[in-house]
Amino acid sequence: MKRAATDVRIAADWLDDPRLHRLFSAIERDGDRAYVVGGAVRNTLLELPAGDVDVATTALPDVVSARAAAAGLKPVPTGIEHGTVTVVVEGHPFEVTTLRRDVESHGRHATVAFGRDWSVDAHRRDFTMNALYASLDGVVHDFVGGIADCRAGRVRFIGAASRRIAEDYLRILRFFRFHAAYGRGPIDTEGLAAAIAARDGLAGLSAERIGQEISKLVVATGAPTTVATMSDAGLLQRVLGRVADLGGFARLHRLVGLPGGPRRESDDAAVFLAALAVWTEADGWALAERLRLSNAARDRMAGAIARAPTVDPAGDTATIDRLLEAIGREATRDAVMLAHGRARLSFAATAASLAAAAMRPVPVMPLGGRDLLALGLPRGPGVGALLAELRAAWVADGFRDDRAALTTRAKAAVDRILRDRSNSSRGV
């Protein structure tokens, strides 16, 4: 193995995980080595949560599987064609991938061969900060200058940016996504120039892969500045198929950290996308189809778009209560956030509305169809019609009526309905 820079030793809980030690004990035999690689090492250097702990090894996939099984672990061939075996240790999965070298690149994936050279494996990866390896003693092995780039907050391609992108055009979007998540200061100029030059390659990527990357990008800390850079470069429009509302997107990001505000998590990507590029429900459906978003994400966008115009600009809690009763807490929160993105609400009104949406109880009408049947109303469509009438009055009165008051109102309505039916049947 070629010598690497080992001037950094990290400390992290995952390095002391006994399950990881069991895995290494199973793999590291007969001259084979294993290191933790990628995100866990990068994030630990950046003092961020580690996330998944992935392992690289010189052992071939079938050897990894055999050794894992012999040690009482469970190997699962989840990506065997790429050299990846998922090894389950005490219920926890670890991805274990054999060192690789690229044989041929196709613009969307590469044909690889397995190897034993850690430097070669490092140099085939995308960014320097992703090509860091750590042994269980916490020593970081760096073949590409990734430690310095982590410290500087610099997202930089390994080698020539144009060559790395030509190997997989998805790396254009990954470049922007990683800069939004981990970058500090200006974006790498070589990477930006290479991304612009290779922009036509985006057309050959699957909608699912693009959608996954964009959904991660829009929730990242530096997303407002990054998507503005993408827009200036003419790349954002190619991805979204529409003009973006950069101001509204930035306004939504400024709500992060407020009680009940948006979270930098994948679940909230739909609302960030709505603020960025969706003005009507038809736009939402089109964007969801273009990016192959899940039905849940599509529905969240559509709901937020439909309800945002109904949010009171003054932050009136009565409006929040009506929304809570009609659509629930999460959808109310989405509507408030998007209303702020659309500049309908001031920051103060938005903060008050989000706090109310998070803390106020969801009004639930204390009367149902069974109660109407118990009062003597016959089964049939009349039950739903009367419930809707009672609910409308209950909402209009600000949810003041309790169960007793609603029951009194319902009994009067049922008596009236029964009397009218009786009179009708007698021809009165």
- Residue 270 above 70 pLDDT? yes
The domains found in the chain, sorted by start residue, are 1-152 (3.30.460.10), 156-239 (1.10.3090.10), 245-364 (no CATH), 369-425 (no CATH)
Enumerate residues 6+ apart whose C-beta is below 8 A from 148: 154
- Residue 82 above 90 pLDDT? no
Average pLDDT score over residue span 153-171: 96
Instruction: Tell me, yes or no, if the pTM score tops 0.85.
Output: yes
Residue 267 confidence (pLDDT): 85
> How does pLDDT run across 52-79, given as a tens digit for each residue?
999 999 999 999 999 999 999 999 998 8
> How does pLDDT run across 278-301, given as a tens digit for each residue?
888 888 889 999 999 999 999 999
Q: How confident is the model at residue 334 (pLDDT cuts 50, 70, 90)?
A: very high
Say whether 115 sits in a helix, a strand or coil: coil
Cα–Cα distance for residue pair 200/194, rounded to 1 Å? 11
Q: To the nearest whole number, what is the mean pLDDT of the chain?
A: 92
Handedness of CA 59, 62, 66, 72 (dihedral sign): positive
**Rg of the chain in Å (alpha carbons):** 29
Residue 315: φ, ψ to 5°: 75, 30
Closest CA to 293 of 253, 240, 221, 236: 240
Ranges 168-172, 198-202, 412-416: which has the least confidence: 412-416
Q: Which residue has the higher pLDDT, 260 or 111?
A: 260
Q: How confident is the model at residue 1 (pLDDT cuts 50, 70, 90)?
A: very low
Return the ∠ at Cα 20 (arms to 66 and 140), rounded to 5°: 110
Closest CA to 267 of 297, 301, 305, 224: 297
Task: Give the range with max mean pLDDT: 72-86, 125-139, 259-273.
Answer: 125-139
> How does pLDDT run across 368-406, given as a tens digit for each residue?
999 999 999 899 898 999 999 999 999 988 888 889 999
Average pLDDT score over residue span 29-46: 95
